[in-house]
Structure 1
Amino acid sequence: MLLWPLLLLLLLLLLPTLALLMQQRSQDARLSWLAGLQHRVAWGALVWAATWQRWRLEQSTLHVHESQQQALRWCLQGAQRPHCSFTDISTFRNHLPLTKASQTQEEENGEQPLPPTSNQDLGEASLQADGEELAGAIAAGNPGAPLPERAAELREALEQGPRGLALRLWPKLQVVVTLDAGGQAEAVAALGALWCQGLAFFSPAYAASGGVLGLNLQPEQPYGLYLLPPGAPFIELLPVKEGTQEEAASTLLLTEAQQGKEYELVLTDHASLTRCRLGDVVRVVGVYNQCPVVRFIYRLGQTLSVRGEDIGEDLFSEALGRAVGQWPGAKLLDHGCVESSILDSSAGSAPHYEVFVALRGLRNLSEENRDKLDHCLQEASPRYKSLRFWGSVGPARVHLVGQGAFRALRAALAACPSSPFPPAMPRVLRHRHLAQRLQERVVS
């Protein structure tokens, strides 16, 4: 149900650009009166639809309790469970317990054979092999009419390398539209520093495995702020205790969220009557009418713990970012980590973390650079520092992987038929098969 408002809001944001393009086209090609009429009718329909959807959103966020009641009734009707006689939110929450996903995407793929790895690196090199094939198809007119001039422009742009390629191909491009799934900050930063250098990024929605959950109504605000609307799917908020992953006794509704607090998202959709804990933790950073505006923080279950230290995804990523910042010329493109017991790499040493990083601007890691991550982790976690002092935990081992390592890992994760969209990229790998996919690509 949220997809239509989302698409209409996105179209509304794109209307000024569309108008400019249509105006230029009318000046150049002197569009016929009929084409101009069609343009005006389409413009008017889009403006009307977007205005109507924005009005509906305003009304629902002003009357949140009633809107969530309606969303729950819609979910109950679609679940095809006639024996359930829930009449209100309180009864629904009292009779249905919270559940977790029976299997994560990584767990499902961990027990399955992974597709074979190509001998060709999947990275900048493959761009030159695929780009040439694309240029040949454009020149030959497959599909469509032959465009030899455009093919020549593509070849020229590819010869200059991947950095800033998007603007070379489309000089009037102004914004890159993405879909935020949480935990993708590194991928967005890498895209902005390489292919889409010089371009602004805009994410109209926040999505999890259950569907679209949040809307970005203020694109001028910092990246990653989303309104949690009261419509379907039905959303609850589970308070997360500070410093732990233990949940509170009960969930809260959207109007009960407190600014500055962190909550795990709980989702109920029309396909089932399960109150599913998604594992996505958000922090309330503002309010829109009566609905919370949130920022994704981390995912539960993405923790490292070899001696009970519980290094969370957010804390580890922050420490890794500080360490990479001390590596001259290095830019972090992606990372993954695994506890040493999974790779059987603790023989003769204390348990530790095995960390795999993809970098730009650095081809080799010195021992001094590797040690900086362990120092940053000790600064970030007193518990980890204490365990390192007593020798209960060994120093983190950092490995540099070559081109295509994380792309191959993502392909393996996405190959599962039940893979959610967008696919979730685990930062902490729990299965040896997946960890070995990165281990095979270590270059330093």
Structure 2
Amino acid sequence: MPTIQDELGRRSLLYSLLMPVMNQFVPGLDKGKGMYFLFVKSEARTPGGLLARPVLTSYYKSPHFVERPHDPYTVYTSPNEAILCPDSYQSMYAQLLCGLAQREEVLRVGAVFASGFIRAIRFLEKHWRALCRDLLTGAADPDTVTDPSVRSAVAGVLRGPDPELAALVETECGRGSWQGIITRLWPNTKYIDVIVTGTMAQYIPTLDYYSGGLPLACTMYASSECYFGLNLEPMCKPSEVSYTLIPTMAYFEFLPVHRSSGCAADNPDPSDLVGLVDVKLGQEYELVLTTYAGLYRYRVGDVLRVAGFKNNAPRFNFVCRKNVALSIDSDKTDEVELHRAVEKAVGHLEPFGATLVEYTSHADTSTIPGHYVLYWELRTGPTPVPPSVFEDCCLAVEESLNSVYRQGRAVDKSIGPLELRVVEEGTFDKLMDYALSRGASINQYKAPRCVKFEPMVELLNSRVRCNFFSPKCPKWVPGHKQWSTTKSA
């Protein structure tokens, strides 16, 4: 997405509004710190030679973040050196170590996405013993944190051995249950600041488990193309989150979504567009942008619903991402991309005479990290298909997915290995029967390419004959198509 220098300044101004809004609901946030898990990702060059990197990496590496003036409302436990470390493992380890060392000062915790915060807690589950040893010695293990600047920054936070803190962390993490671990380790935490709208809503039960039911605050609405607005009631329930757009961030227009089809017109007439002052309560719209950086009437792909008004400014619920079938972290896989990947993978079955009858998918977040699941119903041939061939199918699907997915799998480890579940013959007939029993039209029914409704997932899982996982990470080369950045809704 194109950007210009003053866009970072505009986005920084939006960040500066977050804490004044939050302070109206949670006073005293200037008396402590925020433990936020923030990371940078790889940079690349476009074919034309322009620097390309994810939008948050641009912000974290800019003077707006690195040289930000002291503000008691935006003091973080993580030193800049840990945030800017390109090695995600070292960065995560250092940020957790610093967060534990300042546990009494932490008033709020978070990450950009709910998935990222849960990944940090899962990292703690795996490495708490090593972290306790470092708290005991007062220094980061040199074999774990090898970056000299990060080691130096962490040493400045730890300030020597702390056997009492090490023993406390060991006691809490050594218990059988991790329920409420956040408030047990960071007892003064008032809320979790993460995005839990859209596909991130699937992580709410896990966050509730780890936090003991702390409030979940969705503070802002943004994407790679543009930062949009704020949640003026950030302590509301996740299901009630609404955003007020800031009209100076871009020129906003809205394309009405048709009630019958649930989507906007593919080739709309410009006269169909509605201005920010003309949206109607309860109506759903697809967001359209004209930005300072050069996007003109760009269809973001987000579907919003008018939830109400703040004075005369409309507030919007985020409804969904148009055409997105699967998402675990910052990845977005639509039905077309998934179908192409499946088509390529089933070629491995041809030598055995097996064919694909039907398929669907599911984003399984019961594991940490979450992973994609494919359900395949096959018509078998004369020769049994070896397990290794099904594993090759898994890898072929992953190799065919977009660069953001592959980076999440191969580098960030934010997505687990893709799983293929082969179901019994007739399973998709059963799935159709279930849909028809709930009122679907037999004339209009088609197998869903992604299932989220729990009874449907349970039906599919009850008929699984065998399952297979991708045997290794897909290839990901820094710079290869990285200029096709992804969205953050």
Within 5 Å, give how 1:279-428 maps onto structure 2. 279-302=301-324, 338-339=338-339, 341=343, 343-344=345-346, 347-348=354-355, 350-355=357-362, 357-359=364-366, 377-378=435-436, 379=438, 381-382=440-441, 386-387=445-446, 397-398=460-461, 417-418=482-483, 420=485
Q: Say which of 246, 249, 253 aligns to 1:236.
A: 253
Q: Deviation per CA, 1:2-61, whole angstroms, max 9, x where unpaired?
A: 542443341453472236669xxxxxxxxxxxxxxxxxxx99x98xxxxxxxxxxxxxxx
Deviation at 1:123, TM superposition (A): 9.2
In the alignment, the residues of structure 2 paired with residue 400 and residue 288 of structure 1 have an alpha-carbon distance, to the nearest angstrom, of 54
Q: Closer, same or farther in 2 for the Cα pair 1:175/1:123, shift >3 Å?
A: closer
Residue 17 in structure 1 maps to residue 36 in structure 2? no
> In the alignment, is the contact (CA less than 8 A) between 2:286 and 2:301 conserved in 1?
yes
- The 3-state SS of whatever aligns with 2:269 is coil
Residue equivalent to 1:268: 290
> In the alignment, is the contact (CA less than 8 A) between 2:304 and 2:318 conserved in 1?
yes
Residue 133 in structure 1 maps to residue 130 in structure 2? yes
In the alignment, the residues of structure 1 paired with residue 216 and residue 435 of structure 2 have an alpha-carbon distance, to the nearest angstrom, of 31
Between Structure 1 and Structure 2, how many residues are aligned? 287
Letter in 1 for 2:180: G
> In the alignment, is the contact (CA less than 8 A) between 1:177 and 1:203 conserved in 2?
yes
Deviation at 1:353, TM superposition (A): 1.4
Residue equivalent to 1:32: none
Letter in 2 for 1:7: S
Q: Closer, same or farther in 2 for the Cα pair 1:376/1:297, shift >3 Å?
A: farther
In the alignment, the residues of structure 1 paired with residue 31 and residue 120 of structure 2 have an alpha-carbon distance, to the nearest angstrom, of 36
Deviation at 1:258, TM superposition (A): 1.2
Percent identity, aligned pairs only, is 24
In the alignment, the residues of structure 2 paired with residue 373 and residue 412 of structure 1 have an alpha-carbon distance, to the nearest angstrom, of 39
Unaligned ranges ≥5, structure 1: 23-41, 47-121, 304-312, 315-333, 389-394, 425-444
Deviation at 1:366, TM superposition (A): 13
Letter in 2 for 1:17: G
> In the alignment, is the contact (CA less than 8 A) between 1:283 and 1:296 conserved in 2?
yes
Residue equivalent to 1:249: 269
In the alignment, the residues of structure 1 paired with residue 213 and residue 363 of structure 2 have an alpha-carbon distance, to the nearest angstrom, of 28
> Could you say which structure has the higher strand fraction?
2
Q: Closer, same or farther in 2 for the Cα pair 1:20/1:208, shift >3 Å?
A: closer
Deviation at 1:290, TM superposition (A): 2.5
In the alignment, the residues of structure 2 paired with residue 19 and residue 132 of structure 1 have an alpha-carbon distance, to the nearest angstrom, of 32
Q: Closer, same or farther in 2 for the Cα pair 1:419/1:278, shift >3 Å?
A: same
Structure 1 range deviating more: 128-137 or 223-232: 128-137
In the alignment, the residues of structure 2 paired with residue 158 and residue 412 of structure 1 have an alpha-carbon distance, to the nearest angstrom, of 37
Q: Closer, same or farther in 2 for the Cα pair 1:216/1:387, shift >3 Å?
A: closer
Residue equivalent to 1:176: 192
> In the alignment, is the contact (CA less than 8 A) between 1:341 and 1:351 conserved in 2?
no
Residue equivalent to 2:230: 215
In the alignment, the residues of structure 1 paired with residue 162 and residue 315 of structure 2 have an alpha-carbon distance, to the nearest angstrom, of 47
> In the alignment, is the contact (CA less than 8 A) between 1:237 and 1:266 conserved in 2?
yes
Residue equivalent to 2:203: 187
Q: Closer, same or farther in 2 for the Cα pair 1:335/1:210, shift >3 Å?
A: closer
Letter in 2 for 1:156: T
Within 5 Å, give how 1:64-75 maps onto structure 2. none
Q: Closer, same or farther in 2 for the Cα pair 1:351/1:129, shift >3 Å?
A: closer
Deviation at 1:167, TM superposition (A): 0.8
Deviation at 1:385, TM superposition (A): 6.8
Deviation at 1:175, TM superposition (A): 0.6
Letter in 2 for 1:256: D
In the alignment, the residues of structure 2 paired with residue 423 and residue 21 of structure 1 have an alpha-carbon distance, to the nearest angstrom, of 28
Residue equivalent to 2:162: 147
Q: Deviation per CA, 1:124-157, whole angstroms, max 9, x where unpaired?
A: 8754432222222222222232222112222222
- The 3-state SS of whatever aligns with 2:324 is coil
- The 3-state SS of whatever aligns with 2:254 is strand
Letter in 1 for 2:16: L
> In the alignment, is the contact (CA less than 8 A) between 1:180 and 1:206 conserved in 2?
no
Q: Closer, same or farther in 2 for the Cα pair 1:357/1:412, shift >3 Å?
A: farther
- The 3-state SS of whatever aligns with 1:132 is helix
Residue 226 in structure 1 maps to residue 243 in structure 2? yes
Residue equivalent to 1:72: none
In the alignment, the residues of structure 2 paired with residue 268 and residue 186 of structure 1 have an alpha-carbon distance, to the nearest angstrom, of 31
Q: Deviation per CA, 1:261-317, whole angstroms, max 9, x where unpaired?
A: 1111122222224332111111111122222211111111225xxxxxxxxx89xxx
In the alignment, the residues of structure 2 paired with residue 186 and residue 289 of structure 1 have an alpha-carbon distance, to the nearest angstrom, of 32
In the alignment, the residues of structure 2 paired with residue 186 and residue 124 of structure 1 have an alpha-carbon distance, to the nearest angstrom, of 16
Q: Say which of 164, 183, 205 aligns to 2:180.
A: 164
> In the alignment, is the contact (CA less than 8 A) between 2:194 and 2:217 conserved in 1?
yes
Residue equivalent to 2:110: none
- The 3-state SS of whatever aligns with 2:300 is strand
In the alignment, the residues of structure 2 paired with residue 414 and residue 175 of structure 1 have an alpha-carbon distance, to the nearest angstrom, of 37
- The 3-state SS of whatever aligns with 2:282 is coil
TM-score (norm 2): 0.48
In the alignment, the residues of structure 2 paired with residue 335 and residue 236 of structure 1 have an alpha-carbon distance, to the nearest angstrom, of 24
TM-score (norm 1): 0.52
**Which ranges of 4 or more aligned residues in structure 1 deviate by more than 6 Å?**
19-22, 122-125, 334-337, 365-368, 370-373, 399-402, 411-416
Letter in 2 for 1:284: V
Unaligned ranges ≥5, structure 2: 1-9, 34-69, 74-118, 140-154, 368-420, 448-456
Structure 1 range deviating more: 196-205 or 335-344: 335-344
Q: Closer, same or farther in 2 for the Cα pair 1:423/1:281, shift >3 Å?
A: closer
